[in-house]
């Protein structure tokens, strides 16, 4: 096989050195204030009102809601005093309005839910939920609210409360909550029909799912916090979809035949409210059926289409029905190798592939004002940019609405005419502007942020392109100290993630880096990151090459990064360290143990160490079941390589991590101990999969101090 040499192309070199670069970034500010005063300026709470060409924003101190038009005329809508007086509440800041229309909005204060009318300066209490209400789901037109308490589902309608499910809290059935550990794009458990005449909901039976014990040390004596955790290859949950009819007070369940542990995903209502669509994924995750069911009696109507793939199929976006043509919907699929749009008729007829090519649709934003085009967000062909595109529903003609290079966060006006385009790129901290969805023309620039770091000593953030063994382009990011001197040699910290559904590098402000990297660079380091194959925004094949062999190809690509670093004259390759969290923790330890001798120090946080301990939904998608792929599981099992350790490794884990269980790191530590090999560990008591809040400063200090010490 022809081995392609690594080709290096410096894409951008951005010198964000301003004039008065004197302030030293503290670790505390780097960790806690990246989205605070160190972030580019923003317009707080900016959103479309449900009214032509009008937006609302919050005053900087959140004591009033203001209106703004495209000519940047600002006017006061409502003050905190007015709303507190009207409702006899004691709010400390104005609530974030959920606009029903241009003159009224929903909001809640504690457990009270209101509809507030701007013209009358008065609000109507639409519901008071119990204190323990969770998973609250408001239907904006009707004001109906679905919510859960414990394992049961409830709804409120005009201050009346109805208990929908009748589940004994002692059983292991849960109603109205997210299922499948929120994989397959599932984020919630309730789905109002378009006019809220019906409520679809998930119900899961977890009685066969193993309990995993967590320890709560905040009480005396320490107590058991038992969670349900279906590991790869183990018995899993079994899901149902119920349809509750509030008028009849009756629930029917969809007749979703098939394996008990199949996944019921991407639930969508037919605009007629007569049907519900569920994408049924088999446990093997290599075959999906797009099924239509009767919302009246739950009966199965038809499989509209199926998708199969020898590796896996991963549907994540429910069918999107055309507002102006309720018999047609758009389906997002990776079937041609990239996430693209397919227009279907509701009988299952494929009408048209709407998008194609080497780029990835991220989400559907809505229709444009003409009703002839769908507006989507999607990457460019490099995977670094995110843009708004208009796609013609008849011709599939594609138009980029946001030509300026960068990462565009978008919000479509309800009437489809305008977009809020909030974007940044390596040289632009933030611009907020309004663009026309027809022409892409800029109607108004609302904000252009200054460099929020201009007073700080901060070095360069560079993007580079490297080539994988097979010629695939890989993006890399290099952060240098402000006083970088190419004639010197610098130690390197490699930060890695490496897993699917994530991308560390984009063409956005600071290239999506975290400010602790700049902090560390100022200590005299180079901080390097590479998005290996397996990561996001580069298409299905780029991702699915990891199938059944997690870690393998990812490492090959990371080694290309290492090779590149070592070839730089300014790199001290005797002083390299690596750090990553979660999948990045798995990668960090894999790099240390399977490629020993490269890194002198490593810190792995919340790492997967053996895929058999990871959850079924994600784990089996990429690795199949342990009994189907013993070689793959064994090759990636880190305990098999403990004897290879060279240099220092610290493992960090939150003791209440319910995503990557502490069993991962403890079992690896046990293997180190049994083999007489020294390793370091640090637990973050009561922290979950990430160490968040103020303790994150401690975490980063722990990590970076460790690396400093070990590279000394």
Q: Which residues bind a copy of itself (CB under 8 A)?
A: 210-215, 217, 220-224, 226, 229, 231, 234, 612-613, 655, 661-663, 666-667, 669-670, 673-674, 676-678, 680-686, 694-695, 697-698, 701-702, 705
Please report how close the Cβ of residue 210 comes to a copy of itself at its closest, in angstroms. 5
What is the bridge-based pairing of β-strands 490-496 and 526-531?
Answer: parallel
Bond into 670 cis (ω within 30): no
Of the residues 368, 385, 610, 657, only one is catalytic, namely 657
Instruction: Tell me how far apart the alpha carbons of residues 679 and 609 are, in angstroms, rounded to a whole number.
Output: 15
Q: Quote the least distance from Cβ 231 to a copy of itself, whole Å.
A: 5
Give whichever of 439 and 675 is closer to a copy of itself, judged by the CB atom.
Answer: 675
Is there a catalytic annotation at residue 689?
A: yes
Smallest gap from residue 612 Cβ to a copy of itself (A): 6
Closer by beta carbon to a copy of itself, 489 or else 698: 698
Contact 122, 170 (CB under 8 A): no
Tokens of 45: 């709470």
d(CA 20, CA 663): 49
Contacts of 347 (CB under 8 A, 6+ apart): 302, 304
Output 209 or 239, the one with its CB closest to a copy of itself: 209
Residue placing its CB nearer to a copy of itself in the complex, 387 or 612: 612
Where are the strands (E) in 439-532, listed by range? 442-448, 461-467, 473-479, 490-496, 526-531
End-to-end CA distance of the chain: 41
User: Is residue 234 exposed (0-12), middle (13-18) or buried (19+ Cβ within 10 Å)?
Assistant: middle
| 329 phi, psi to nearest 5 deg | -140, 165
Start-end of H helices in 595-661: 616-623, 630-636
Pairwise CA distance, residues 109 & 98, whole Å: 13
Buried b vs exposed e over 593-627: b needs ≥16 C-beta within 10 Å?
bbbeebbbbbbbbbbbbbbbbbbbbbbbbbbbbbe
Q: Which of 286, 337, 276 is nearest to 307 (CA)?
A: 286
**Beta carbon of residue 48, minimum distance to a copy of itself (angstroms, whole number):** 42
Q: How far is the CB of 215 from a copy of itself (least distance, A)?
A: 6
Q: Name the β-bridge partners of 379.
A: 386
CB of 351 to a copy of itself, least distance (A): 46
Minimum gap (Å) between residue 33 Cβ and a copy of itself: 16
Distance separating alpha carbons of residues 553 and 458, to the nearest angstrom:
33
Q: Which is nearer to a copy of itself, 101 or 226 (CB)?
A: 226
CB 26 to a copy of itself: min, Å: 12
Compute and round to an integer the Cα radius of gyration of the chain.
26
DSSP 8-state assignment for residue 615: B
DSSP-assigned letter for residue 394: T
Annotated catalytic residue, options 689, 695, 698, 708: 689
Closest to a copy of itself by CB, 472 or 629: 629
In the bound state with a copy of itself, the residue whose beta carbon lies nearer, of 44 and 222, is 222
d(CA 63, CA 79): 6
C-alpha span between 111 and 156 (Å, rounded): 12
> What is the Cα–Cα distance from 487 to 641, expressed in whole angstroms?
37
Q: How far is the CB of 298 from a copy of itself (least distance, A)?
A: 34
**Which of 7, 673 has the CB closer to a copy of itself?**
673
Tell me which of 582, 590, 656, 665 is the catalytic residue: 582
| Residue nearer to a copy of itself on the CB measure, 110 or 694 | 694
Give me the active site residues, please: 582, 657, 689
């Amino acid at each position: 096989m022809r081995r392609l040499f690594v080709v290096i192309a410096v894409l951008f070199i951005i010198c964000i050195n301003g004039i008065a670069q004197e302030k030293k970034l503290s670790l505390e500010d780097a960790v806690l204030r990246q989205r605070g005063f160190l972030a580019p300026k923003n317009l707080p709470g900016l959103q479309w009102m449900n009214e032509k060409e009008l937006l609302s924003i919050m005053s900087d101190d959140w004591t009033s809601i203001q209106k703004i038009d495209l000519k940047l005329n600002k006017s006061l809508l409502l003050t905190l005093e007015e709303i507190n007086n009207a409702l006899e509440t004691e709010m400390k800041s104005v609530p974030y309005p959920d606009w029903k229309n241009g003159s009224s909005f929903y909001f809640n204060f504690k457990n009270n839910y209101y509809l507030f009318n701007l013209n009358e300066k008065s609000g109507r209490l639409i519901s008071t939920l119990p204190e323990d209400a969770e998973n609250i789901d408001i239907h904006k037109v009707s004001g109906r609210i679905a919510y859960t308490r414990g394992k049961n589902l409830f709804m409120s309608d005009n201050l009346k409360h109805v208990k929908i499910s009748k589940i004994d809290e002692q059983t292991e059935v849960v109603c109205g909550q997210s299922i499948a550990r929120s994989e397959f794009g599932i984020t919630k458990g309730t789905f109002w029909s378009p006019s809220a005449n019906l409520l679809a909901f998930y119900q899961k039976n977890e009685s066969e799912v193993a309990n995993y014990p967590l320890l709560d040390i905040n009480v005396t004596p320490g107590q058991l916090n038992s969670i349900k955790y279906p590991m790869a290859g183990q018995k899993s949950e079994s899901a149902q979809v119920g349809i509750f009819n509030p008028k009849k007070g009756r629930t029917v369940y969809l007749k979703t035949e098939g394996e008990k542990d199949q996944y019921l995903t991407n639930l969508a209502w037919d605009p007629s409210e007569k049907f519900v669509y569920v994408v049924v994924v088999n446990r093997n995750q290599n075959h999906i059926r797009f099924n239509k069911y009767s919302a009246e009696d739950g009966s199965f109507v038809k499989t509209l289409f199926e998708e199969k793939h020898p590796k896996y199929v991963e549907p994540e976006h429910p069918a999107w029905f055309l507002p102006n043509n309720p018999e047609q919907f758009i389906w997002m699929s990776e079937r041609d190798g990239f996430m693209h749009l397919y227009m279907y008729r509701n009988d299952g007829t494929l009408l048209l592939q709407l998008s194609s090519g080497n780029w990835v649709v991220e989400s559907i934003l809505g229709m444009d004002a003409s009703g002839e085009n769908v507006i989507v967000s999607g990457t460019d062909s490099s995977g670094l940019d995110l843009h708004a595109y208009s796609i013609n529903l008849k011709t599939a003609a594609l138009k980029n609405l946001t030509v300026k290079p960068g990462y565009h966060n978008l919000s479509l006006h309800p009437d489809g005419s305008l977009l809020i385009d909030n974007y940044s790129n390596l040289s632009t901290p933030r611009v907020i502007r309004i663009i026309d969805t027809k022409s892409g023309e800029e109607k108004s620039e609302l904000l252009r942020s200054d460099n929020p770091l201009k007073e700080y000593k901060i070095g360069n953030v560079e993007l580079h392109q490297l080539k994988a063994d097979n010629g695939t382009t890989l993006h890399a990011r290099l952060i240098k100290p402000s006083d970088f001197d190419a004639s010197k040699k610098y130690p390197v910290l490699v930060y890695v993630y490496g897993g699917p559904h994530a991308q560390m590098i984009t063409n956005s402000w600071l290239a999506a880096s975290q400010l602790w990297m700049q902090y560390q660079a100022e200590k005299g380091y180079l901080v390097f990151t590479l998005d290996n194959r397996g990561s996001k925004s580069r298409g299905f094949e780029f991702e699915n090459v990891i199938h059944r062999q997690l870690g393998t190809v990812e490492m090959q690509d990371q080694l290309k990064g290492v090779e590149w670093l070592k070839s730089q004259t300014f790199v001290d390759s005797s002083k390299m360290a690596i750090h990553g969290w979660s999948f990045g923790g798995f990668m960090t330890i894999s790099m240390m143990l399977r490629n020993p001798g490269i890194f002198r120090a490593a810190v792995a946080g919340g790492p997967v160490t053996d895929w058999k301990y990871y959850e079924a939904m994600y784990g089996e998608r990429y690795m199949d079941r342990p009994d189907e792929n013993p070689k793959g599981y064994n090759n990636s099992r880190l305990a098999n390589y403990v004897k290879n350790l060279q240099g220092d490794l610290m493992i960090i884990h939150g003791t209440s991590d319910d995503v990557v269980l502490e069993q991962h790191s403890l079992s690896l530590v046990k293997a180190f101990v049994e083999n007489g090999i020294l390793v370091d560990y640090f637990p973050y008591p009561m922290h979950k999969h990430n160490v968040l809040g103020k303790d994150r400063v401690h975490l980063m200090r722990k990590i970076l101090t460790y690396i400093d010490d070990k590279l000394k």
